[in-house]
Amino acid sequence: MDKEHGAFAVPESIRKLTAGKAFSTDGVGMSKAQVMVFEDCVLKIVPYREKNEETVRVMRWLENKLPVPKVLCYECDGERQYLLMSRLPGRMACDAYYLERPDELAARLAEAIRMLWSIDVSDCPRVRDLDTELREARFRVENNLVNLELAEPATFGPGGFKDPEHLLDWLERNRPGYEPALSHGDLCLPNILIDNGRISGLIDLGDTGIGDRWRDIALCWRSMRRNAEGAFGGKVYPDARAEMLFDALGVKPDAEKLRYYLLLDELF
Phi, psi of 202 (to 5 degrees): -120, 120
Torsion of CA 55, 253, 179, 152, to 10 degrees: 40
Structure letter (DSSP) for residue 223: H
DSSP-derived secondary structure for 86-149: EPPPSEETTSHHHHTSHHHHHHHHHHHHHHHHTS--TT-S-B--HHHHHHHHHHHHHTT---GG
Handedness of CA 46, 48, 49, 54 (dihedral sign): positive
Name the residue among 20, 24, 18, 5 with its Cα closest to residue 85: 18
Q: Is 95 a catalytic residue?
A: no
Give me the torsion for CA of 132, 167, 220, 25, rounded to 10°.
-80
CA 206 → CA 33, 83, 98, distances in Å?
A: 12, 12, 25
- Say if residues 245 and 109 touch (Cβ distance below 8 Å): yes
- Contact of 102 with 184, CB cutoff 8 Å: no
The catalytic residue among 186, 204, 207, 212 is 186
Instruction: Please report the sign of the dihedral spanned by the C-alpha atoms of residue 45, residue 50, residue 51, residue 56.
Output: positive
Catalytic residues: 186
